[in-house]
Amino acid sequence: MRISVIGCGHVGLVVAACLAKLGNKVTAVDTDGEKVKLVNTKVSPISEPGLEEILSKVNIEATRDYSPIRDSEIIFICVPTPSTEDGSISLEYITQATKQIAAVLKEEKGYRLIVVKSTVIPGTTEEVIVPILEGLGKRAGHDFGVCMTPEFLSEGSAINDYMNPARIIIGEYDKRSGDRLSSLYQNFNAPTLRVNLKTAEMIKYVSNAFLTTKISFINEIGNICKQLGIDTYEVAKGIGLDERIGAKFLNAGIGFGGPCLPKDLKALIAKARQTGYQPRILAEVLNLNNGQALKMIDLLKKHISLKDSSVGVLGLSYKPQTDDVKDSLAITVIDTLLKERARVKAYDPWAMPNFSKLFPQIEYVTSEGVLRCDAVLVLTEWEEFEHLDYKGKVVIDGRKIAKAKEARIYEGICW
């Protein structure tokens, strides 16, 4: 099929690359000229394992100009919907993109399908996107179709997540829209659920809200287990064997960060409050997460006084296998260390260039440099941290690194 993808961010690029790999003719649109240039030279503007290899083998036409999308049968919208001050999402980029699509559609005769893949609050596709698309005279369900299909990819395993999805959710304006999107997915081996637009939008938020609840739940259990001298990870293994609970997402630690989970949880809380409902569980999931990483500082203070001490930080990205530092809990921890006048030295295999844009004032060193500090905090579970020599050190571990237990003084956040 001929497909356009609007937005060359993490989701957009992965979708574009995978659809091209599956034999579709893909055009990718982004307002950032630098990104467009990179994609056209088959270089990935983001670090995602396997992405550049696909880009090197396929022919994606990247452009800043929307007019080439007129030849596409399906147009995916994959632009960001960032958080605003009150936790709700900004629709600035998605409304701009939709207006540009509407302008192209206006001149066209054939039926097109517009698919929202950006994460948007329930009601957005129907109440905001469709009216903009219809604004220039065309009619949804007649001249064009509309779907909302959430993306569940995780950074670091995004290609595999896209190619082998656990499920495909198709939110459809009408049957014709859903049929066209289904035909694109016909060779995927995954259960498919067809629902209305706002149900699809809600499924995305509820998936992420459930994952955050699972993490804050196990962190709370971990905080209790630590008081009782019980290993949380063994408890998690024990309960995870029950299929109703499941073993995944029960890794206790410093909490959840990244570009999606915190943002989506805040947006769902904000939307619920807008409707007049006060979400209690979700609000506590967020509160607990906000405090969890700071427990690292409390544990550290039991062993050294922070003022003028050197504190080494292992791990800056919000999780391994990415250089992404968006809403990384390392930000909260390092911010507090600096306020307490500690001298911070940090190491991360991939994320130091991104982190140094946020914290130019700290020292970036090798992992050996970190281990020479008065104390060490482990904030991300990079595999290479399992092979360091912690003997003789003071280590506060936020991610359960087995080898770190060899330290002279060792404390785990939840164990």
Work out which of 30, 126, 134, 155 binds ligand UDX, going by CB under 6 A: 155
Nearer Cβ to ligand UDX (121/215):
215
Work out which of 257, 279, 349, 412 binds ligand UDX, going by CB under 6 A: 257
Nearer Cβ to ligand UDX (93/205):
205
**x/- binding map, residues 211-240, to ligand UDX, per CB under 6 A?**
x---x-------------------------
205 belongs to the binding site for ligand UDX (CB under 6 A): no
Work out which of 258, 279, 312, 412 binds ligand UDX, going by CB under 6 A: 258
188 belongs to the binding site for ligand UDX (CB under 6 A): no
412 belongs to the binding site for ligand UDX (CB under 6 A): no
Work out which of 144, 173, 233, 318 binds ligand UDX, going by CB under 6 A: 318
Stretch that binds ligand UDX, among 78-86, 129-137, 226-234, 243-251 (CB under 6 A): 243-251
Work out which of 15, 54, 69, 250 binds ligand UDX, going by CB under 6 A: 250
Nearest in space to 371 (alpha carbons), one of 383, 360, 387:
387
Nearer Cβ to ligand UDX (216/309):
216
Nearer Cβ to ligand UDX (45/255):
255
Work out which of 22, 31, 50, 152 binds ligand UDX, going by CB under 6 A: 152
φ and ψ at residue 138, rounded to 5 degrees: -85, 160
**x/- binding map, residues 356-395, to ligand UDX, per CB under 6 A?**
----------------------------------------
| 414 classed as catalytic | no
Of these residues, 147, 225, 260, 373, which one is catalytic?
Answer: 260
124 belongs to the binding site for ligand UDX (CB under 6 A): no
Work out which of 251, 321, 354, 367 binds ligand UDX, going by CB under 6 A: 251
154 belongs to the binding site for ligand UDX (CB under 6 A): yes
User: Residue 374 Cβ, how far from ligand UDX at the closest point, in Å?
Assistant: 26
Residue whose structure tokens are 């957009």 = 12
- Catalytic center residues: 260
